[in-house]
Amino acid sequence: MTSGLPEPLCGGTAWASHTDIPDGPYEMHDPDTWCVYLSMATDILWAATGRRWRGAGRTATATLRAAPPNDDTASWTYHRTWGHCPCTATTVGGLWGPRMRHHEPSRVRMPHDDVTAVTSVTIDDAPFTGWSRDGAWLVRDDGRGWPMCGDRVVIGYTYGRNPPAAGRAMAVELAVELGRGASSSPDRACSLPRRLQSVTRQGISFAALDDLDFLDKGLTGLYPVDVWIRSVNPKGRAQSAQVWSPDLLYSRRTS
């Protein structure tokens, strides 16, 4: 990780740290358990807000390989801009350059769309500096293409963005309610909606099922959290939009 980037919170998986939990509910769980609930809250809010803020400080390595994984158990990352072996020598709009019967793209997209910095690029284990970053794309500036065979190019990068301050507060709010719901001695009753409810009317008790319609709308059932979700994702979109123009070779995802 390069200097100046935000430090990861709760192991780089959550929008907030266990130290953000208020004093009252904090005693219900140990710090590691609170990090689990904060990570759960982060995953829920990341999906509910259109996958815009993954959380900063994550690191990854991409080895360029023009061979997509054959199944879900493959361990390497891949993006379709890297091509597919066997390659042909066709050139498309200057994006591809033929090299020994294999495509060598002049620009490749990294597996994550929220790349914040490229920390290292090596070719054949030697540092390479003739590149520039365009969002999540890595562009070779010397007029040549990236070799895609033999695992010759390795890219180290950081990705993920932190939410605004309100998002961090909502992650804490949701994590606290998750913690209350799982605690054997909560500081007060959990505010999360329950599927089964007990209702008493005129001395008669009965059980009612909550239809949980809010789940289909990408909401949580917590009013403050849902108000914030709708303020940043009013259409309830599953992911951020992409912008494409006929005069561009690739689309760009907006944040």
Q: Does residue 5 carry a pLDDT above 50?
A: no
Both 88 and 167 in one domain: the answer is no
Domain membership of residue 243 (yes or no) is no
* Judgement on whether residues 63 and 48 belong to the same structural domain of the protein: no
Task: Report the percentage of the chain scoring pLDDT > 70.
Answer: 71
| Average of per-residue pLDDT values in the chain | 80
In-domain check, residue 237: no
Q: Using one digit for the tens of pLDDT, what is the confidence trace for 165-195?
A: 999 999 999 999 999 999 999 999 888 876 5
d(CA 138, CA 35): 34
Does residue 227 lie in a domain region? Answer: yes
**How far is CA 26 from its chain centroid?**
27
Q: Half-sphere exposure of 126 toward its Cβ, with a 13 Å CA cutoff? A: 3
Do 179 and 112 reside in the same domain of the chain?
no
Same domain, 168 and 122: no
CA dihedral 177, 181, 185, 189 (to 10 degrees): 70
200 shares its domain with 174: yes
169, 179, 180, 222 from 227: Cα distances, Å: 13, 21, 21, 9
pLDDT at 20: 95
Do 92 and 144 belong together in one domain? yes
When pLDDT is cut at 50, 70 and 90, the band that residue 152 belongs to is very high
Q: How far apart are alpha carbons 154 and 113 in whole angstroms?
A: 18
Q: What's residue 94's pLDDT?
A: 45
Q: For residue 252, is it within any domain?
A: no
In a domain, 171, yes or no: yes
Q: Are residues 69 and 41 in the same domain?
A: no
Contact 17, 38 (CB under 8 A): yes
Both 46 and 167 in a single domain? Answer: yes
Write down which residue in 126, 159, 192 finishes a domain: 159
pLDDT band at residue 90 under the 50/70/90 scheme: very low
Domain final residue pick, 129, 159, 189:
159
Q: What is the pTM of this model?
A: 0.69
> Do both 121 and 182 map to the same domain?
no
In a domain, 248, yes or no: no
Asked whether residue 240 is domain-assigned, the answer is no
Give yes or no for residue 96 having a pLDDT over 50.
Answer: no
Q: Are 125 and 139 in contact (CB under 8 A)?
A: no
Q: Quote the tokens at residue 65.
A: 């390989």
- The residue out of 159, 182, 201 marking a domain boundary is 159
Instruction: Please give the tally of structural domains in the chain.
Output: 2
Asked if 50 and 167 sit in the same domain, the reply is yes
Same domain, 48 and 101: no
- Does some domain include residue 50? yes
- 146 and 22, same domain (yes or no): no
94: nearest Cα among 130, 153, 145, 131: 145
Residue with more model confidence, 60 or 88: 60
Domain that holds residue 39: 18-54+163-232
